[in-house]
Amino acid sequence: MAAGAMRRALPLVRQLAGRTPVVAASPLAAPSRGAHPAPSVLTAAAGTSASATTLAPSAASSVPGPAKKMTGAEIREAFLSFYESKGHTRLPSSSLVPEDPTVLLTIAGMLQFKPVFLGQAPRKVATATTTQKCVRTNDIGNVGVTARHHTFFEMLGNFSFGDYFKEQAIKWAWELSTGVFGLPAERVWVSVYEEDAEAEAIWRDVVGVAPERIKRMGAADNFWSSGPTGPCGPCSELYYDFHPERGTQDASLEDDSRFIEFYNLVFMQLNSSTGGGGGVFMQLNRKPDGSLEPLAAKNIDTGMGLERMAQILQGVSNNYETDLIFPIVAKAAAIAGVDYASAQPAVKTALKVIGDHTRAVTYMLSDGVTPSNTGRGYVLRRLLRRVVMKGRLLGIREVFTPAVAEVAVALSAACDPAVQRNAQRIYDELAREESLFATTLERGQKQLDEYLDRAAAGGKAIAGPDAFMLYDTFGFPLELTQELAEARGVDVDVSGFEAEMEAQRQRSKDSRETLDLTAQAGLAALAAAVGPTAFTGYSATRGAGRVRGLMRGGAPVEVVEAGDRCEVLLDSTPFYAESGGQVGDMGVLTAHGSGEAAAELSVSDCQKAAGGSVFVHTCEVKAGQLRVGDQVTALVDEDLRRRVRAHHTATHLLQSALKAVLGPDTCQQGSLCNFQRLRFDFNLARGMTAAEVAEVERLVNGWVAAAAPLETRVMDLAAAKAAGATAMFGEKYDDTVRVVDVPGISMELCGGTHVANTAEIGAFKILSESGIASGIRRVEAVAGPAAVEYLNQVDGLVRGLSGQLKLKPEEVPARVSAMQAELREAAKQLADLKAQLAVAQSQALVSQAVTAPQGGKVLVAELAGGVEAKALQEAAVKLQEALGDPAAVVLASRVDDKVNFVAAFSAGAVKAGVQAGKLVGAVAKVCGGGGGGKPALAQAGGKDASKTSEALALASKMLNEGL
What is d(CA 715, CA 724) in angstroms, rounded to the nearest whole number?
12
Looking at residue 286, what is its pLDDT?
A: 52
Dihedrals phi, psi of 550, to nearest 5 degrees:
-130, 140
Given this model, what pLDDT does residue 62 score?
A: 53
Give me the mean pLDDT over the 608-625 stretch.
Answer: 90
* Conformation bin of residue 153: beta by default, left when phi > 0, alpha when psi is -120 to 50: beta
Q: How high is the pLDDT of residue 174?
A: 96
Q: Percentage of the chain surpassing pLDDT 70?
A: 85
- The domain defined by 827-961 folds into Diaminopimelate Epimerase; Chain A, domain 1 (3.10.310)
Residue 590 pLDDT greater than 80, yes or no: yes
Sequence-ordered strand ranges (E) for 339-482: none
Q: Is the pLDDT of residue 237 over 80?
A: yes
C-alpha torsion angle, residues 604, 609, 615, 618 (rounded to 10) = -20
pLDDT at 351 over 60: yes
* CB neighbour class for 368 (10 Å; exposed up to 12, middle 13-18, buried from 19): buried
pLDDT at 18 over 90: no
pLDDT of residue 230: 55
Binding-site residue ranges for Zn(2+): 648, 652, 750, 754
Closest CA to 580 of 612, 536, 628, 534: 612
Residue 12 three-state SS: helix
Say what the pLDDT of residue 361 is: 96
Q: Any alpha helices (H) in 844-884, and if so which ranges?
A: 869-883
- Residue type at 137 in one-letter notation: T
Distance between CA 944 and CA 935 in Å, rounded?
Answer: 25
Angle at 750 between CA 745 and CA 755, to 5 degrees: 60
What band does 228 get if pLDDT is binned at 50, 70 and 90?
low
In angstroms, the CA 435 to CA 400 distance is 10
Total residues found in the chain within this entry: 963
E strand spans, 269-399:
285-286, 292-293, 299-305
Kindly indicate the confidence band of residue 287, based on its pLDDT and cuts at 50, 70 and 90.
low
Rg of the Cα trace of the chain?
A: 34
Which of 257-271, 534-548, 665-679 ranks highest by mean pLDDT?
534-548
Element (H, E) at 941: strand 937-942
Task: State how far the Cα of 284 lies from the Cα of 198, in Å rounded to an integer.
Answer: 17
Angstrom distance (rounded) from CA 343 to CA 40: 13
Q: How far is CA 485 from CA 8, 29, 279, 373, in A?
A: 20, 19, 57, 27
98-126 pLDDT, tens digit per residue, is: 877 667 888 888 888 887 777 667 788 99
Distance CA(108)–CA(226), nearest Å, equals 7
What distance in Å separates the CA atoms of residue 770 and residue 851, rounded to the nearest whole number? 56
- Numbered residues of the known binding site: 648, 652, 750, 754
- Band (pLDDT 50/70/90 cuts) for residue 703 is very high
Give the burial string for 156-177 (b: 16+ CB within 10 Å, else e): bbbbbbbbbbbeebbebbbebb
pLDDT at 507: 59
* pLDDT at residue 612 is higher than 70: yes
Measured at the alpha carbon of residue 775, what is the angle toward residues 774 and 780, in degrees to the nearest 5?
100
In the chain, where are the structural domains located? 72-314, 325-492, 517-636, 641-793, 827-961
Alpha helices in 24-99 (DSSP H): 39-45, 72-85
Which of 11-15, 690-694, 841-845 tops mean pLDDT? 690-694
- Element spanning 156, H or E: strand 152-161
Mean pLDDT confidence for 821-831: 84
Residue 278: band (very low, low, confident or very high) from pLDDT cuts 50, 70, 90: very low
Quick count: other Cβ atoms within 10 Å of Cβ 475? Answer: 19
The arithmetic mean of pLDDT across residues 408-420, rounded, is 92
Give residue 294's pLDDT: 57
**Of the ranges 114-123, 279-288, 630-639, the best mean pLDDT one:** 630-639
- Report the interhelical angle of 638-662 vs 690-705 (nearest 10°): 130
CA 307 to chain centre: 24
In this prediction, residue 293 carries a pLDDT of 57
Query: Which pLDDT does position 513 carry in this prediction?
Result: 36
Average pLDDT over residues 155-160: 94
Confidence class of residue 604 from pLDDT cuts 50, 70 and 90?
very high
Ranking 101-115, 259-273, 659-673, 903-917 by mean pLDDT, the lowest is: 259-273
Each residue of 21-38: pLDDT tens digit? 333 222 222 232 233 232
CB 527 within 8 A of CB 610: yes
Reported as type and span, the H/E element at residue 734 is none
- Once rounded to an integer, what is the mean pLDDT over residues 337-349? 92
Q: What pLDDT, on a 0 to 100 scale, did the predictor assign at position 707?
A: 96
- Residue range 363-410, pLDDT digits in tens: 999 988 888 777 888 889 889 988 998 898 888 888 999 999 999 999
Q: What's the pLDDT at 326?
A: 95
Q: What is the mean pLDDT of residues 630-654?
A: 96
636 has a pLDDT exceeding 60: yes
Instruction: Using the predicted structure, report yes or no on whether residue 677 has a pLDDT greater than 50.
Output: yes
**Is the pLDDT confidence value at 46 over 60?**
no
Give per-residue pLDDT as tens, 879-936: 888 888 989 999 999 988 899 999 999 998 898 888 998 899 899 999 998 888 889 9
Asked if 134 and 152 touch (Cβ cutoff 8 Å), the reply is yes
User: Which secondary-structure segment (H or E) carries 769?
Assistant: strand 764-773
Task: Provide mean pLDDT across the span 683-691.
Answer: 90
What is the C-alpha to C-alpha distance for residues 97 and 104, in angstroms, rounded to an integer? 7
Exposure on the CB side of residue 355, measured as CA atoms within 13 A: 35
517-636: CATH number? 2.40.30.130
Per-chain mean pLDDT for the chain: 82
- Dihedral-angle region of residue 504 (phi above 0 means left; psi in -120 to 50 means alpha; beta otherwise): alpha
Q: Which CATH superfamily is domain 641-793 in?
A: Threonyl-trna Synthetase; Chain A, domain 2 (3.30.980.10)
Q: Is the pLDDT of residue 81 over 70?
A: yes
Task: Specify whether the CB–CB gap between 370 and 775 falls below 8 A.
Answer: yes
Lowest-confidence range among 678-687, 702-711, 776-785, 860-869?
860-869
Residue 175 has pLDDT above 90, yes or no: yes
Helix (H) or strand (E) holding 115: helix 114-117
- Looking at the DSSP bridge assignments, the partners of residue 942 are 899
Instruction: Please report, as a single letter, which amino acid is at residue 164.
Output: Y
Model pLDDT for residues 470-482, shown as the tens digit of each residue: 877 776 777 678 8
> What tens digit of pLDDT does each residue of 831-868 get?
777 777 767 776 778 878 888 877 788 999 998 877 88
Instruction: Quick: pLDDT tens for 544-561.
Output: 999 999 999 888 999 999
Structure confidence at residue 644 (pLDDT): 96
Separation in Å, CA 324 to CA 182, 311, 318, 359: 20, 10, 11, 10
What number is the average pLDDT over the span 933-946?
90
Per the CB < 8 A criterion, the answer to whether 14 and 26 are in contact is: no
Contact call for residues 54 and 330 (beta carbons, < 8 A): no
Architecture field, domain 72-314: 2-Layer Sandwich (3.30)
Listed as own residue / partner, the contacts of 668-673 with beta carbons closer than 8 Å and 24 or more positions apart are: 668/726, 668/728, 668/729, 669/368, 669/370, 669/729, 669/776, 670/581, 670/729, 670/730, 671/580, 671/581, 671/728, 671/729, 672/581, 672/583, 673/581, 673/582, 673/583, 673/644, 673/647, 673/648, 673/752
Q: What pLDDT is recorded for position 219?
A: 83
> How high is the pLDDT of residue 442?
73
Q: For strand 214-217 and strand 188-193, is the pairing parallel, antiparallel, or unpaired?
A: parallel
Instruction: Work out the pLDDT band at 10, boundaries 50, 70, 90.
Output: very low
Q: What share of the chain is helix, strand, coil (3-state, %, to 5)?
A: 45, 25, 35
